[in-house]
Amino acid sequence: MRNTEYDAVVVGSGPNGLAAAIVLQQAGLQVLLLEGKKELGGGLRTTELTLPGFRHDVCSAIHPLAAGSPFFQILPLAQYGLEYITPPIAAAHPFDDGTAATVTGSLAETARRLGADGPAYQQLLEPLVAAWPGIVNDVLAPLQLPKHPLDMARFGLSALQPATWLTSRFQTKEARGLFAGMAAHAIQPLANLTTSAIGLVLLIAAHRKGWPLPKGGSQSIADALAAHFVALGGRIETGTFVKSLAELPSARAVLFDITPAQLLRVAGHSLSTVYQWQLRRYRYGMGVFKVDWALDGPVPFAAAECAQAGTVHLGGTLEEIAAGEKAAARGLHPEKPFVLLAQQSLFDSTRAPAGKHTAWAYCHVPNGSRHDMTEAIERQVERFAPGFRERILGRHTFDTAQLEAYNPNYVGGDINGGLLDVSQLFTRPALRASPYRTSQPGLYLCSSATPPGGGVHGMCGYHAASRALRDIFGLRPTPLYQEVTGPSALASLRR
């Protein structure tokens, strides 16, 4: 490797590193992808964490953004074995009275199930779902002039609001709690500006393509992306942990799928003083504490709808979720944390032995916390699924330090690659003409620490590689997927 010259080297094989490598290889360049671990994937890994035969997603689990990614949709990933399974209910949100609010693929059906808040829900989501094909490439991009400014403005006016503001249009605990659970994916207090953005994006995704899970585990996405990259002529080396620029082969462009903390360690000496200062000021958000279970049967939720959902949000009312997220952001460990739970084995028989099941869950904790949240998480599950503990055959936990050791991009347990608040939404990781360029020509950042941020969509990698192609090689990237819509799009949502 040391004596080989490449056009480009990509460091890190998370979804963004893989996406960047594919974009560069598609352009006809000679590309090397380096991964420090023995397995590819970054946050896209699946393994037997608890007992033999029980396959758990180590990091990410449910993938609405992957299925709807404008870049992934132009790739022939199905040819490499990637198959998505879409549960009938994208997400369920149970309450203490044994009922649950649910989101299905049908916007109209979801609105009907919300009762008195159905019209308000439909009024909010219907125009955004219809406009999504025209604005998705701008939403999942750095700050730029939008192709459909009016539609983008409509989305932005709602997305910029704190979730606690946007939910004021709802009156029922069902609609308010449901949206709070969606917005809590922002991993910050719900009173913060822009916390409505992720909630809206996830609801739009649910109504357009559902919330699918990859058959066989999240590793299937990484394996398909890697197989496509190799089929294009790319080269991959695993077990190569890069600690300095001197360890890299000669290349005209180097793209790093890492966050600012690691970039400073690897390339700090080559970066300008001002840029280093900006990277040191970059802020990481709350961490997560994660639990995986091997189960003797499915999670026995009191609300029957939960058995049809791939994802279940456990937190009760808007007020309870908001209080828990606020506490964690302030360095506390809530007794009743908001818990995100996935139950892939209900829909994918490859995840567990016959008659058995898996469950995956995490809650938000202060960055760098070593506090064991297992009991608090299991109490929340038991609260909405009495008898859950009796079905546990085995468990595996990750605190924030263990998550960071497993994937160095999760600094302090932050799975978003940095706090995604209004001050770091478009300027992550630094205020520059292009967020993907570093101060050193030829060095680029392509991780979730760049726009549009966290999630398995590959768009950070796509945009970083596109920038490098233009800057260094004078080439244009492959155009993104553009969904064809017609006048019947809005009518179909109302059925």
Q: Does residue 265 register a pLDDT over 60?
A: yes
Whether pTM > 0.85 for this model: the answer is yes
Q: Which of 191, 412, 192 is nearest to 284 (CA)?
A: 412
d(CA 36, CA 41): 11
For the chain, percent of residues with pLDDT exceeding 90: 95
- Read off the pLDDT of residues 363-374 as tens digits, 9 standing for 90 and up: 999 999 999 999
d(CA 75, CA 91): 27
Q: Does residue 487 register a pLDDT over 70?
A: no
Asked whether the beta carbons of 312 and 93 are under 8 A apart, the reply is: yes
Q: Does residue 489 register a pLDDT over 50?
A: no
* Local confidence band at 253 (pLDDT 50, 70, 90 cut-offs): very high
Q: What residues contact 253, with CB distance under 8 A and at least 6 apart?
A: 7, 8, 9, 24, 442, 443, 444, 468, 471, 472, 473
pLDDT, average across residues 320-340: 98
Average predicted confidence (pLDDT) for the chain? 95
Q: What residues contact 154, with CB distance under 8 A and at least 6 apart?
A: 127, 128, 131
* Local confidence band at 1 (pLDDT 50, 70, 90 cut-offs): very low
Residue 172 has a CB neighbour count (10 Å cut-off) of 16
Asked whether the beta carbons of 453 and 417 are under 8 A apart, the reply is: yes
The pLDDT assigned to 493 comes to: 52
The pLDDT assigned to 425 comes to: 86
The pLDDT assigned to 484 comes to: 65
The pLDDT assigned to 488 comes to: 45
pLDDT, average across residues 226-254: 97
The pLDDT assigned to 426 comes to: 83
Task: Give 292's strand partners.
Answer: 360, 396
| Cα distances (Å, whole numbers) of residue 495 to 70, 106, 109, 154, 275 | 26, 8, 8, 23, 52
pLDDT, average across residues 450-463: 97
**Which of 69-78, 86-95, 483-492 bottoms out in mean pLDDT, i.e. has the lowest?**
483-492
Structure tokens given for 296: 């003797």
Burial of 249 (0-12, 13-18, 19+ CB in 10 A): middle
What is the set of domains in the chain, with CATH numbers? 6-82+214-282+415-473 (3.50.50.60), 84-212+285-406 (3.90.660)
Q: What residues contact 373, with CB distance under 8 A and at least 6 apart?
A: 289, 291, 333, 337, 363, 365
- Read off the pLDDT of residues 137-184 as tens digits, 9 standing for 90 and up: 999 999 899 999 999 999 999 999 999 999 999 999 999 999 999 999
* Local confidence band at 5 (pLDDT 50, 70, 90 cut-offs): confident
For the chain, percent of residues with pLDDT exceeding 70: 97
What letter would DSSP give residue 389?
Answer: G
The pLDDT assigned to 206 comes to: 98
